A = this chain, B = another copy of it.
Amino acid sequence: MTIASATPYCSHGAHCQTCSLSSLCLPVALKTGELDHFDAIIKRRPPLATGDCLFRQGDHFSNVYAIRSGSLKQVNFDHAGNEQITHFFLPGELVGFDGIDDGYHTGYAHAMEKTCICEIPFSHLETLAERIPQLRSQLFRSMSREMKEDHRLIRLLSCKTADERIAGFLINLAVRFQRCGHSSKTYRLPMTRTDISNHLGLALETVSRVLKRFRDNHLVAIRGRDVQILQPQLLYELAENGSP
């Protein structure tokens, strides 16, 4: 079983007007003229390679970023230097809002594979949002959505078992991959088992063992990073209720 990578090639000169992800991204609901204005403030960067940093802890906050293709992980630190992956970001999602508060980023954002990014200068975005109510609403909605994602993760971490966490994680990824144009059943994990274990608050051995159990029970087919969800309904119920 081999599944196409989640990272198709993407030209770094592309524009919002022709971007297949614009229905997920900030330009949603913008009229043609407005879209041109929005497109004009965006800087396209050369693609990030695996392991490259989009921003580092302590960097001055000046942009938010939209992902065109590829994937990122956002890593925060506590005072003792322990890492915590708070988010994985997929195409069509926005990165960097946590830097607004006091003007610098509190953690790293690493590319987990070759990743194309749109850089959106926040001051320009604010100015433009002043004039375009649709854009403003979408900006607030994006931030609010990230909060809801955080609350989902908090609930997951605070009272769910390893099985429930991993079921929820696989389902959540499936939903988000589908939203950006992939199959809802098959995808390729961009992150390592170590990343998953860190994000879900588990030991990496536990992640490995639970995935094996899911495979043995024919809930999913997993080989390396290729995932195929065989029984979405059962997996969903496991994630929510804890009952198989």
Query: Which of A10-18, A135-143, A217-225 has 4 or more CB atoms under 8 Å from chain B?
Result: A135-143
Q: Measuring CB to CB, which residues of chain A are less than 8 angstroms from any residue of chain B? A: 76, 78-80, 82, 84, 86, 97-102, 106-107, 126, 130, 133, 136-137, 140-141, 143-148, 150-151, 153-155, 157-159, 198-201, 240-242
Q: Given A86-B154, A157-B154, A158-B199, answer yes or no on A80-B240 (Cβ-Cβ < 8 Å).
A: yes
In the assembled complex, the Cα of A101 lies from the Cα of B148 at a distance in Å of: 8
In the assembled complex, the Cα of A155 lies from the Cα of B97 at a distance in Å of: 18
Number of copies of this protein chain within its complex: 2
Contact A154 B155 (CB under 8 A): no
Q: Is chain A's binding surface mostly helix, strand, loop or mixed? A: helix
Q: Which of A98, A99, A102 has the most CB of B within 10 A?
A: A98
Q: Given A143-B147, A148-B106, A150-B147, answer yes or no on A155-B84 (Cβ-Cβ < 8 Å).
A: yes
Q: Which residues of B contact A154 (CB under 8 A)?
A: 84, 86, 150, 153-154, 157
Closest Cβ neighbor of A140 among chain B residues = B100
**Known interface pairs A86-B154, A157-B157; 5 further A-B residue pairs with C-beta atoms within 8 A, sorted by A's residue number:** A99-B144, A101-B144, A147-B147, A150-B151, A153-B154
